[in-house]
Structure 1
């Protein structure tokens, strides 16, 4: 049974739907610790006064905001409590918008909304109404004393509450050095564009997220388990040669795209087989890893 963050309700007009908020994320990160190479003891960080060098106990630490260089405004816990949002367990939908109008860059963290037994009928009503309309419900929600903007939409048979970033949290692209769309010197030639579109068509496939895995994490765990089986032996890792500087080369973009299209033509028929092989290898690795752990 999924562990809920809190239990509350969705306010949909006059309809009240009791729900539980459940995290939709699972992050199997590899946690690495910092240790002293001499005796393998963990590294401990101290809270040190920048002026005196003395360690500062927790009961002497307060929070502060630096409003000018070197000048701080001290904030007590009472000050912070006074400006925190009012704790509420109600997700009150204030607006409905077309889901495809929400900039994907605003998506931050997903949660599932699970109905309580007495709210299943109203839950199903809201879910099917959102599915049929293609819209998302916009609301504000308080999670762990912080207020978030959120969008509610349908995924399979579940209502998803997606926490959103505020637009002010996104950096403007105007500060990046980007090629301007109207620059005639950078405008793609017709042949280049045709080849680029052809290459995209050749590489287009159905989106199957299960075909993709965190290959870095799998490789790292395989390496760690190999070291464990060998009694913590250190493998001889050779460094690759530095790549030549490509900055001064003139690239024939059309020729490169044309070559990519030709190579892609020979790979299209075997791409599905390769994906199937990767999936089988992934399953085999997971089975071997479970056996290793049980041993």
Structure 2
């Protein structure tokens, strides 16, 4: 999804970026209950009461209720960051210093053929110092904060981070500082329970049971032929009938008009002869 390089001091590490995760959610379509046809969503103007094409749309920022500042594409292009071809490392920090709330999306960085040695140098140096890198780059024309770290199988991973002002504070949370009394016995029992439940992290043991049940339900419905199809063929046939009727009515109207013209012409000829 991206080609560029990691800028590490005077060293450039040519890499390619790949999404590290993918959604496995069971996605449903909204259908018309009567005919099971997928519902379409159109861009409409509620005031003009008609569909709106893309070339009729501009962008606006609502700075107050129903008050907009409108921008044309050139104005937005002037302040938009150009797509970057580098991931610029600015600092090295301890991994434990970053609260997980800052993490957004994960990407794998794979070395280009000409950059394998530089890639391995960065990966091994970070592994030996137990440091991760804080970096800046531009993704989809948006300046992005990220951290670079090493992962399993000697891969370098980039995690995009939320900017500090995008992480909400906890000061306004209710009951966070409410006073309560914890006894020594309660704390000891809680610690004992945690120790008894402690184990190593094995991600393969955790299963999305809800998604598995949905997939099984879908498979049973398909196996039992509980499958519906919107009447697309019937709709086309109706259109053909409507078209034939329209053509026939057009011919009838044309023939009627022609007959009237002939009758009018005949009447004019008889009138001339009489006069």
TM class by shorter chain equals: 0.7 to 0.9
Counting matched residue pairs gives: 226
Shift of residue 71 of structure 1? Answer: 1.2
**Aligned twin of 1:13:** 9
Q: Show structure 2 runs of 5+ residues with no match.
A: 228-275
Distance in 2 separating the partners of 1:205 and 1:137: 29
Is residue 2:114 matched to residue 1:118?
yes
Which aligned pairs between 1:167-206 and structure 2 lie closer than 5 A?
167-180=164-177, 183=179, 186-206=180-200
Q: 32, 35, 54: which one pairs with 1:36? A: 32
Distance in 1 separating the partners of 2:176 and 2:42: 47
Distance in 1 separating the partners of 2:208 and 2:197: 21
Shift of residue 150 of structure 1? Answer: 0.4
Partner SS state of residue 107, structure 2: strand
Which aligned pairs between 1:1-295 and structure 2 lie closer than 5 A?
5-156=1-152, 157-180=154-177, 183=179, 186-232=180-226
Moved over 4 A (4+): none
**What TM-score do you get using the length of structure 2 for normalisation?**
0.79
Deviates more, 1:24-33 or 1:12-21: 24-33
Shift of residue 153 of structure 1? Answer: 0.4
Shift of residue 197 of structure 1? Answer: 1.1
Deviates more, 1:85-94 or 1:220-229: 85-94
Shift of residue 207 of structure 1? Answer: 1.1
**Aligned twin of 2:265:** none
Shift of residue 158 of structure 1? Answer: 0.4
Shift of residue 199 of structure 1? Answer: 1.1
Shift of residue 20 of structure 1? Answer: 0.6
Distance in 1 separating the partners of 2:187 and 2:2: 52
Larger relative contact order, structure 1 or 2 (CA cutoff 8 Å, min sep 6): 2
Measured on the aligned residues, the alpha-carbon RMSD in Å equals 1.4
Shift of residue 109 of structure 1? Answer: 0.4
Q: Show structure 1 runs of 5+ residues with no match.
A: 234-295
Q: Deviations over 1:191-240 (max 9, x none)?
A: 1111111111111111111111222111110111111111218xxxxxxx
Shift of residue 112 of structure 1? Answer: 0.8
Shift of residue 174 of structure 1? Answer: 1.4
Partner SS state of residue 51, structure 2: coil
Distance in 1 separating the partners of 2:48 and 2:181: 60
Distance in 2 separating the partners of 1:46 and 1:13: 50
Shift of residue 135 of structure 1? Answer: 1.0
